[in-house]
Amino acid sequence: MMLIRYLRQIGRYFLMWKEIFRSPVKWSVMRGLILKEIDSLIIESLGIVAFISFFVGGVVAIQTALNLTNPLIPKYLIGFATRQSVILEFAPTFISIIMAGKMGSFITSSIGTMRVTEQIDALEVMGVNSLNYLVFPKLIALLLYPFVIGIAMFLGILGGWIAGVYGGFSASNEFIGGLQMEFIPFHIAYAFIKTFVFALVLATIPSFHGYYMKGGALEVGKAATVSFVWTSVTIILLNYILTQMLLSS
């Protein structure tokens, strides 16, 4: 029975995608909704992303330096390890999981509250495609999400450089040499491809759990929790699949 319930939910999720693009709301209304979502989901996330990225980059550099106990191992590996960790995994994947908590909970609770207070029903009565009205602006706003991850990459590496150089673990030229060593440009493309896919997940799975929830105010909180769990699980699974597809070939 549980398997059938999960399959039904997955089917409903993909049917939701079809409904999002049906009968779009007129552009004069949609433009304002998109700008509002950009402010709520992108601009308001920059502070926490910058803070976490800077200090985690510093921690990666320090931990790498402390594990290079053999004097024969060159110090430029601190910069190399920081770059690889931040670009390949930390910025695109772990920031997205953190955003599943911040953005996802906000999206689920806001749409869930509209469901509980019958605002979604009112939109439907007025002939508005409520899924297009509520979810499409979030999808468009989160197309800017790769820019957030680009900032996370820069600040993570900057934090690593400051921690490595001013912590006395590495000279500046050694750290920068490590950043430049054996650089593969496709790794940047790989990170942004993942980020784009994760952005679609961050916009739609929390919206799905908010839109189709049933019950009252208590269930809004439960829906936000379930939304965070499933968004995180989906991001981790997609991370594995995309890494296998893009890097192992």
d(CA 94, CA 76): 25
Domain boundaries, the chain: 27-247
d(CA 239, CA 246): 10
Environment class of 62 (CB within 10 Å of its CB; exposed 0-12, middle 13-18, buried 19+):
middle
Phi then psi for 117, rounded to 5 degrees? Answer: -90, 10
The answer to whether residues 235 and 96 touch, using CB atoms and an 8 Å cutoff, is yes
Mean pLDDT in consecutive groups of 10 residues from the start of the chain, 249 residues: 82 87 85 92 92 93 84 80 90 92 90 88 86 91 93 94 87 86 89 94 92 84 90 94 86
Give the number of other CB atoms < 10 A from CB of residue 94: 18
Question: Which string of DSSP letters, residue by residue, matches the chain?
Answer: -HHHHHHHHHHHHHHHHHHHTSSPPPHHHHHHHHHHHIIIIIGGGHHHHHHHHHHHHHHHHHHHHHH--STTS-TTHHHHHHHHIIIIIIIIIIHHHHHHHHHHHHHHHHHHHHHHTTHHHHHHHTT--HHHHHHHHHHHHGGGHHHHHHHHHHHHHHHHHHHHHHTTSS-HHHHHHHHHTT--THHHHHHHHHHHHHHHHHHHHHHHHHHT--SSHHHHHHHHHHHHHHHHHHHHHHHHHHHHHHH--
Which pLDDT score, from 0 to 100, does residue 137 have?
93
Neighbouring C-alpha atoms within 13 Å toward the C-beta of 226: 15
d(CA 242, CA 236): 10
For residue 115, what are its two tokens? 């469901």
